[in-house]
Each structure stands twice: as C-alpha cells, then as structure tokens.
Amino acid sequence: MTGPVARHGYPPPVLTALDDAAVGQWYRAAVDVLSEFRGRLDDLNVFPVPDGDTGTNLLLTAQAAVAELDRQSARTTESAWSILARGAVLGARGNSGTILAQLLRGLADQLAGQPPADGPAFAGALQKAAVTAYTAVADPEEGTFLTVARAGADAAVAAADDGCAELAAVVRAAADGARVALDATTEQLAALRDAGVVDAGGAGLCLVLDALVTTVTGVEPDRPPLARRNHGHRHSGEDLPHQPPAGHGSEVQYLLADTDEDAVARLHQRLAALGDSLVVVGVDTPTGREWNVHVHVADIGAAIEAGIEAGRPYRISVTPLAPVPASAPVQGTRAVVAVVSSDGLAALFTGEGVRVLPCGPGGVTEDDVLGEIVASTAHEVVVLPNDSELMGVASRAAVRARDAGREVGVVPTRSPVQGLAAIAVADPARRFGDDVIAMAEAAAATRWAEVTVAEQEALTTAGRCLPGDALGSAEGDVLIVGSDLVAVACELLDRLLSAGGEMATLVVGERVLGDAACAHLAAAHPTIEVIRYDGGPSGVPLQVGVE
C-alpha cells in the first residue's frame, strides 16, 4: 500500500489529537488508498448485488468529501468535520458510499465545533456514528460494512477504557478490530461464503481506517493483501449469489431538498415497501437540510414519484442492478404510452409519436394499461398516467409487464402538461434508465394547474364553492374560487408565475378562455414564452404548465 510515508520520504509526526488539518489529511490519504484499491474492492463486490462497483462508489464518495473541503476551507471557519460530511452525503454513490457518508456525518455530529479529538473523544464519536449508520439502513444485515464499522468502534472504546487512551492506540485498535470483523464476514453471509470473499464495503472501510492510522502515527499498518479467496476470474454476473434477473431491478439514487423530517419518514416507509438496500442520510447545508436517498427497486417511476411527493428530488441516477455483458444484443424498440382524456389530447400525443390510451367515463383499468404496453410490441416502455389518480393503476400494470419480461418505467405525470414536458425531452438513443430519469425530471420541474367548474357545493381549501363556480387549482389544491372563469384563470396564471418561470404551456378546452389567457400573459407577463394547444377535454376548460 502506498501511503504518506513512502510518498514523502519521511514519517509525519505522531498526532495526539485530530484537529481540522489532521482530519483533512486523513481523508486525502483515504482517497489515495481507495484509488489504489478500487479495482480489488470492485472485484470483491457480491453483496447486496454483484454489480462490481463498491470500490468505485467508495472512492467517488470520499473524493466528493475532499472536493467540498477544498472549496470551502479557505473561505469559512466551519469545522472540517462538517464540511467533509456535507460533501460526502451530497456526493455519496451507491449503497456502501452512502453508508460511508453516514458514518462521517455521525462523526461530525459528535466532533464538529469541539476541541481537537483525542483518543477517548474519537472512540466515543466513532461508536455513536456506527450506531447511527445502522439506523440509516432500512434492513441492516450482519456480515456487512455496518458490522465492520461497529466492531472497529467497539474496539476503539475498549482500548480507551482499558487505559490505552492515546489517539494512536485508539485508532490502531479501531483499525485492527475492523480487520478482525472483516475476516469474519465471509462466514456471516451466504453470498460471501459461496463466493469466497470478504464484504467489499467493509474492506473499503478498513482501508479508510488504516489511512487514519497512517495519518496519526506516521506508520502504515502491515496488512495481508485484499484478494478473492477463489481466484481465477472477475465476476461477470454468472454463477454468483444474489444475482437479480436481467431487467428486474435498478439502483435509484437522488438528493432530496425542500422537505422535512416527517416527509422523509413517510418516504422511508414507502421506499422500504417498494424495494430493498434502502439507505437515507441527511445533512445540513447552507440552504437547509438535504437527504441522500438510495434504494434498489423494480419500479423506477414509483421510487422517483415517492421522492417528488416528499420534496424536490434532483441529481437522480438509475443504474441497472444486473450487469449487462458488452456483447449483449440490442433488445427490441422503445415506446411511450400516454393516458389521455380527450380526442384533442389523443391527437396531440399521437403527433409526438406516443401511443395513446383513451380514458373514457368509465376510467382506465390496470388491464387496459397492461394491454397497451403489450400491444406496443416494444421491449422498453415508458408509461405516462397524466392523472394523479391513475398512478397506482399504471404502477401495478408495470409490475405485471415486468414479470412478462418487459422493461417498463412509469413517469409520475399528474397532468397532461407534465406528460408533454416529459415527451419533449425523451430520447430513444439514451439508455432506458437515463431516459426515464430525464423525463421524470422534466415532469417534476413543471408546475401544473387547471381551471375547472364546480359541479356541486363543497368546502375547498380556498373556501366554499357553489355549483357553477370557477375553480383555480395548482398541484391538486384549490387556490381560487370565483364566479368569472376568465378572472379566475388570470389570477391563477399570476400566482403560478409569481414563483418564476420561463415558459407556460396551455392546454385549452374552451377556446374563448384560451384566447383570454393568452392575451393576459402577453400583457402582464410579456417575457414568458407561451405554447398553446387546443383540443383539451371540455370538462377542464384550461390546463397550465409552467417551467
């Protein structure tokens, strides 16, 4: 292992406490060692999914932490612990990378803003960080990264309690304890035992702790090399345990902003029901608390939709869990299926090359959506429900289609204007998962609203309405109740655009109202680009999307 000793030609002084400079030095050393051993860690990766990217994800997470430190340290007095933790959480990649970020955030929670950490302080912080890492994982298993982290922390605390309280002794104990636990992981998980390997994430953590030992003591630990116990091939996905069926699972990860603890708790429950390998980690940023969400799911669209309901997901990534051989043939074509509620919308979506499923007075059933997916004859199908009440129907149909061997993504469009925004960015030349992400992001970035007419007396969020009243709604909530359809429409447009926007898309069900809305936009919001589509459903005089 190449470390600071060999690189600089002389040992650094032994540290008695971890100040900001030492913490930064530690993580730079961690980046170096993770870079050196990335390939070997990738090769060890068989759990939870043998996708060969654990080393890469750990390295990218550590690099994100150091990059944030480089950006901020010269212009802030904020603790290096906090800066590194924020960079790691916001830049975390994959299951192991997200847990590593949680561990660093746990350390920051205990040590940021405190005097430089001596042995007992670091040991106590590491133990608490290991506990919080367990809580971040929805269904923790032993024989993994978490087990190794806990063993290292317990060994550090035991050393401090037994009178070996110097920082050097504590970090050596943590690294040694983690190594002992790492060797035991092979027998703790059947997947590791069958492949003859230790846990890849735990091995990466051992390297990070060894980098800390080198930073504190100036002496690089002497360790046996990391290697597969059954030598002979890098795994390609064949004959490995926990190999998912091709096309039946993806790793979905995104950052979540503009949310709160209660919404994140609901998101956690929903994603836990949708998939596994769920890790949710939060961190404070200058603009508020943000979360890194990681999960393995079959329904990509449902996982992204859950994030949209909880807050504002961004930097969304989707990666197939099953490794695809480079020689794999291109399978079939791609189709987009959109549910529509009028002949005009059907013509509009058909003109964009989309298959349409009309939604009549009786609605649309799960079998209807499945039938349209199958009728497309495409292997890859994107479904646009275009109605919040049809999301569940579309998602259940997608699950059945996947069981029949199709790749299906449900983009959570709650309005036709969001569907139009999604197809505007669709690109069949992109990888399917990337295309679904781009379409979901475009839909999520489109604020939607509509003007309707009340059919009965009711109490709305904007007050009581009577039959015949005009209702202005945004994102499903009634904002305006009035007697004049045009006045309500103009006020609704003003409210939507008060939050900003560059383009307004109008789907017009009543021509006179459409004319009035366009005239109002030209007079009151002359810088807004307006796109108008006639042929909207007669029961919805005006639908609006703002981007």
Average per-residue pLDDT for the chain: 84
Report the pLDDT value the prediction gives residue 53, as an integer from 0 to 100: 73
- Burial of residue 436 (CB within 10 Å: 0-12, 13-18, 19+) is buried
Residue the block writes with tokens 């926990």: 242
Kindly state whether residues 110 and 141 are assigned to the same domain. Answer: yes
Tell whether 384 is covered by a domain.
yes
Q: Whole domain around residue 290: which residue ranges?
A: 250-320
As a whole number, mean pLDDT of residues 375-402 equals 88
Domain total of the chain: 4
Tell whether 44 is covered by a domain.
yes
Strands (E), 250-300: 250-257, 275-285, 288-297
pTM: 0.60
In contact, 37 and 226? CB cutoff 8 Å: yes
User: What's the pLDDT tens digit per position in 143-192?
Assistant: 788 999 999 999 999 999 988 889 999 999 999 999 999 888 888 777 77
Kindly state whether residues 64 and 125 are assigned to the same domain. Answer: yes
CATH number at residue 310: 3.30.70.1710
Kindly state whether residues 41 and 146 are assigned to the same domain. Answer: yes
Strands (E), 321-439: 334-340, 355-358, 380-384, 407-410
Kindly state whether residues 345 and 494 are assigned to the same domain. Answer: no
Kindly state whether residues 356 and 501 are assigned to the same domain. Answer: no
Name the residue with higher pLDDT: 177 or 329: 177
pLDDT band at 242 (very low <50, low <70, confident <90, very high): very low
CATH number at residue 423: 3.40.50.10170
Last residue within a domain, chosen from 429, 444, 459: 444
Kindly state whether residues 143 and 263 are assigned to the same domain. Answer: no
User: What's the pLDDT tens digit per position in 309-324?
Assistant: 889 888 887 776 654 3
User: What's the pLDDT tens digit per position in 14-45?
Assistant: 789 999 999 999 999 999 999 888 888 877 77
Kindly state whether residues 287 and 433 are assigned to the same domain. Answer: no
The answer on pLDDT for 332 being more than 90 is no
The answer on pLDDT for 245 being more than 50 is no
Kindly state whether residues 45 and 186 are assigned to the same domain. Answer: yes
Tell whether 171 is covered by a domain.
yes
Tell whether 62 is covered by a domain.
yes
Cβ-based neighbours of 351, under 8 Å, separated by 6 or more: none
The answer on pLDDT for 400 being more than 60 is yes
User: Which range has the worst mean pLDDT, 136-150, 233-247, 483-497?
Assistant: 233-247
Tell whether 231 is covered by a domain.
no
Kindly state whether residues 22 and 125 are assigned to the same domain. Answer: yes
